[in-house]
Amino acid sequence: MEHIQKGIAGEDKACMYLEQKGYKIFQRNYRAGKGEIDIVAQAADCLCFIEVKYRKHNKFGFPENFVTEKKMNKIMQTAEAYVLQHNWHGRIRFDVIAITGNETPMHIEDVT
């Protein structure tokens, strides 16, 4: 499976996981400028911007460790564009979903 297909499969798994937890998925792969957000979803009254990281194994580190400060800054800038475009006035949050192999996704809420 090539890199892009693995990413899509990881995002599919993350979306299913979120929907099972009661999240409403608004958009996948939202792009603005040079930034991208993997999943935009709503949990109760909170708009969540979610970065999905998938790794086949933890041999070189845990997936969540690959969300760098630079990446988070880019996600925050892109989220600002989404909020303005959709006129959102409620709470927002930045999450990471880490997936290793076939394990259950690990959802890390409010990573900022």
Higher per-residue pLDDT: 58 or 15: 15
Does the pLDDT of residue 2 top 80, yes or no?
Answer: no
pLDDT in tens, 10-49: 888 999 999 999 999 999 999 998 899 999 999 999 999 9
pLDDT band at 3 (very low <50, low <70, confident <90, very high): low
CATH class of the structural domain 3-108 = alpha beta
pLDDT band at 62 (very low <50, low <70, confident <90, very high): low
For the chain, what are the domain ranges?
3-108
pLDDT band at 67 (very low <50, low <70, confident <90, very high): confident
Alpha carbon distance 39, 52 (integer Å)? 8
**pTM of the predicted protein model:** 0.89
Residue 2, C-beta contacts closer than 8 angstroms, at least 6 positions apart:
none
**Which residue is associated with the tokens 């099972």?**
20
Torsion, Cα of 62, 65, 66, 67 (10° steps): 140
